[in-house]
Amino acid sequence: MDIYKQENIGTLIEGNSYVGRGIVIGKTADGKKAVSAYFIMGRSANSRNRVFVKRDGVLYTEPYDASKVEDPSLIIYAALRNYENKLIVTNGDQTDTIWEGLKKGESFSQALTTREFEPDGPNFTPRISGMITFGDQDFTYEMSILKSADREGTACNRYTFSYPALKGLGHFIHTYVCDGNPIPTFQGEPERVNIGNDIDAFTTELWNALDKDNKISLYVRYTDLETGAEEERMINKNV
């Protein structure tokens, strides 16, 4: 078994009807850019009724048709935002928990001790989070998953992973293994994926690999480590 094997993101996802929500963080093969990506999927009409919207540098999930919203509590949130030299991306309102924690001097993992998995039993969807810390024309990054410790959701297991940024390597964490009832949650360490230099190629590969019925939105950002310039792509199925 090659524990250092890397896969193309499309290879990992294609043919899997439901990996839920996913975060990718890594560095381009040429070492010049930091890469962050976030996508959402949905099975219910309420979950599918969403789009990504960017306002004042913050990425939000918002209803596509506000008149059809049934329960906004777990589907409407700020998914990506900056604080000083840090970029936060998560699958829920813990984006703001981390952001507020950083302002109080807390670390990424400290801020998340106040949160747990989503209260949507029997699935108990994990909360997944990532944060890039930029400095000296390079970066490090952390990823987290908060999961139910048992079938009843009586306690929370917390896992944090810290990474140096290596050329051509990214890590991919998602909420579910595959579809099911209840849906099996993500297992093990974030998956190792290849990160290319071309934002359009990466975006297209990821979007095309997601199940055509269940995918909703995708956001990808490439940040130049020398200049700080940001290049981004956003795809909404609902347009």
The CATH number that applies at residue 153 is 3.60.20.20
Which structure tokens are listed for 145?
């998953």
Q: What is the rounded distance in angstroms from the CA atom of residue 46 to the CA atom of residue 64?
A: 10
Which of 97, 93, 49, 54 has its CA nearest to residue 71? 49
In the prediction, which pLDDT does 210 show?
A: 98
Domains held by the chain: number: 1
Amino acid type, 202: F
Dump pLDDT digits (tens) for 79-131.
Answer: 999 999 999 999 999 999 999 999 999 999 999 999 999 999 999 999 999 99
Within a domain: residue 135? yes
Confidence band of 71 (pLDDT split at 50, 70, 90) = confident
| Residue 158 belongs to a domain | yes
Read off the tokens for 110. Answer: 């400290």
**What local confidence, expressed as pLDDT, does residue 73 receive?**
81
Residue 2 lies in a domain: no
**pTM greater than 0.85 (yes/no):** yes
User: Rounded to 10 degrees, what is the CA torsion of 96, 99, 101, 102?
Assistant: 180
The whole-angstrom separation of Cα 220 and Cα 231 is 8
Specify if 1 maps to a domain: no
For 10, the token pair is 């499309």
User: Is 109 a member of any domain?
Assistant: yes
Where in the sequence is the domain holding 202, given as residue range(s)?
Answer: 9-236
In-domain check, residue 43? yes
User: Which strands make up the sheet holding 156-164, listed edge to edge?
Assistant: 50-55, 58-63, 78-83, 86-90, 127-135, 138-148, 156-164
List, edge to edge, every strand of the sheet that includes 169-174: 191-194, 169-174, 22-27, 33-41, 215-224, 230-236
pLDDT recorded at residue 222: 98
Query: Binning pLDDT at 50, 70 and 90, where does residue 74 land?
Result: confident
| Buried b or exposed e, range 114-150, using 16+ CB within 10 angstroms | ebbbbeeeebbbbbbbbbbbbeeeebebbbbbbbbee
| Residue 93 counted as domain residue | yes
Q: Is residue 181 part of a domain?
A: yes
pLDDT in the model for residue 35? 98
Q: What is the DSSP string of 8-37?
A: -HHHHHTT-S---SEEEEEE-TTS-EEEEE
